[in-house]
Amino acid sequence: MRIVMIGSGYVGLVSGVCFADFGHSVTCVDKDDTKIGALKAGRLPIYEPGLDELVAKNVRNGRLSFTTDLAGPVGEADAVFIAVGTPSRRGDGHADLTFVYAAAREIAHAVRGFTVVVDKSTVPVGTGDEVERIFREESPQADVAVVSNPEFLREGAAITDFKRPDRIVVGFEDERARDVMTEIYRPLYLNSSPLIFTDRRTAELIKYAANAFLAMKITFINEIADLCERVGADVQQVARGIGADNRIGSKFLHAGPGYGGSCFPKDTLALVKTAQDHDSPVRLIEATVAINESRKHAMARRIIRACGGEVRGRTIAVLGLTFKPNTDDMREAPSLTIIQALLDAGVMIRAYDPEGMEQAKPMLPTITFCADPYEAARGAIAIALITEWDEFRALDFARLAEQVADPVFVDLRNVYPHEEIERHGFRYVGIGRRSPQPN
């Protein structure tokens, strides 16, 4: 199949490269010529484990190319995927569809012969209908079928998630599109990943419902963690105990500082807005959004309490800035809110993150960025672990103890058993555990 991927961001790039790896011929298109120039030179705009090798391999074997020219490749394509950004619209939280509609207009003028146009971007229910309307308006003679094919990959595990998905969801209205999509995903369902065919609006809603459910699951365990602290229970054991029930499942039950990233915050908000517009509010998700927001501030207060409350003019070390490990993505990272609240309380921050510091620097211009955890700990009255990077799983506490002004370790990801850290003379504060909590 000849595939064109419009938008070389996270989803577009990973999907494009993986389709090429399945044997399809893929052209990735982006308006940003700096990005395309870098990709052509083998430099990736994002950090994703394994992606650079996969790009290099498929460029070498001629199945993958990059260009800023949309019209040429679209005219030749069997399927054109739209994988452009759908950020939150300023002011009202609705998904901003400007880029999706602009891409549709351009595609409309370039298609030749029957072409399947696939929405891979996360878009609100009804966007497929609107894209179809744009095609009718811009180019009435174009023979296109618009399909919704949401992507469920996670950053940091994107290639595995794409190649071994729990399911592939395809929403279509035209039988011919079903055949093309079946052909495109053949290597995956041969691998026994179920292909779920449905109508377009249902597919669009599945994506939002999935993300909202996961965000709610995390928020649920976060609230249970707070309760565990009050009643002297251990949230990790609770998660284990409930997760063993197949109906609940053990994943996404890690209590932490609140969810972040490019999807959950934006998609939960967009679902809330869509539901309100249709006079069918999703109150569980409204509560999820509010609880997650207040949690980040509560985390800052927890760190301050762990320091005894007197923090003005003192230094706190932060380990981990990205919204989760194995990515350089700082979008909606809980660390941003937590650090801002600490700065507002007069704290000086020394921070270290393995991949996120380039993105973080302009977002946090007043903090000190350090070369490693030990440099970050210098003179600190507490070390706060915010993102669970593997390299923070075996910290040298004896060495950290030599650096800090006060041995306090606030573990917002429950990476360590508290006994281990206390053995090194640190006071330990975790999340929802039976370790002593600050009052």
Site for ligand UDX, rule CB under 6 A: 151-155, 211, 214, 218, 252-254, 256, 259-261, 263-264, 323-324
The response to whether 254 counts as a known ligand-binding position is: yes
- The rounded Cα 258 to chain-centroid distance in angstroms is 13
The response to whether 424 counts as a known ligand-binding position is: no
Alpha helices in 244-356 (DSSP H): 264-277, 283-306, 334-344
The answer to whether 265 and 259 are in contact (CB under 8 A) is yes
Q: Residue 114 CB, nearest distance to ligand UDX (Å)?
A: 29
Burial label, 33 (beta-carbon count in 10 A; 0-12, 13-18, 19+): exposed
HSE-up of residue 329 (Cα within 13 Å, Cβ side): 20
The response to whether 260 counts as a known ligand-binding position is: yes
Residues 406 and 9: their CA atoms lie apart, in Å, by 43
Strand 408-411 and strand 348-352: the pairing is unpaired
The response to whether 324 counts as a known ligand-binding position is: yes
The response to whether 122 counts as a known ligand-binding position is: yes
Q: Residue 33 CB, nearest distance to ligand UDX (Å)?
A: 27
Measured between alpha carbons, how far is residue 321 from residues 265, 310, 333, 354 in Å?
A: 17, 24, 7, 9
Closest of 316, 338, 436, 301 to residue 382, by C-alpha: 316
Residues 220 and 234: their CA atoms lie apart, in Å, by 15
Q: Residue 207 CB, nearest distance to ligand UDX (Å)?
A: 8
The response to whether 27 counts as a known ligand-binding position is: no
Q: Which is nearer to ligand UDX, 60 or 247 (CB)?
A: 247
Active site residue 263: yes
The response to whether 152 counts as a known ligand-binding position is: yes
The answer to whether 317 and 350 are in contact (CB under 8 A) is yes
**DSSP states of 161-226 as a string?**
HHHS-S-EEEE-SSHHHHHHHHHHTHHHHTTT--EEEE-HHHHHHHHHHHHHHHHHHHHHHHHHHH
Q: Which is nearer to ligand UDX, 334 or 407 (CB)?
A: 334
Q: Residue 341 CB, nearest distance to ligand UDX (Å)?
A: 17
Q: Residue 346 CB, nearest distance to ligand UDX (Å)?
A: 27
Among 228, 263, 307, 370, the active-site one is 263
Q: Which is nearer to ligand UDX, 74 or 235 (CB)?
A: 235
Closest of 20, 25, 32 to residue 56, by C-alpha: 20
List of residues 6+ apart from 216 with CB closer than 8 A: 284, 285, 288
The answer to whether 218 and 239 are in contact (CB under 8 A) is no
Q: Which is nearer to ligand UDX, 333 or 349 (CB)?
A: 333
Q: Residue 76 CB, nearest distance to ligand UDX (Å)?
A: 29
Q: Which is nearer to ligand UDX, 354 or 407 (CB)?
A: 354
The response to whether 176 counts as a known ligand-binding position is: no
Token readout for 349 is 């921050």
Q: Which is nearer to ligand UDX, 6 or 253 (CB)?
A: 253
Angle in degrees, CA 74, 79, 81, rounded to 5: 85
Catalytic residue numbers read 263
- Binding residues for substrate are 152-155, 207, 252-256, 260, 324
- Binding residues are 30, 35, 86, 122, 152-155, 207, 252-256, 260, 266, 324, 331
- Binding residues for NAD(+) are 30, 35, 86, 122, 155, 266, 331
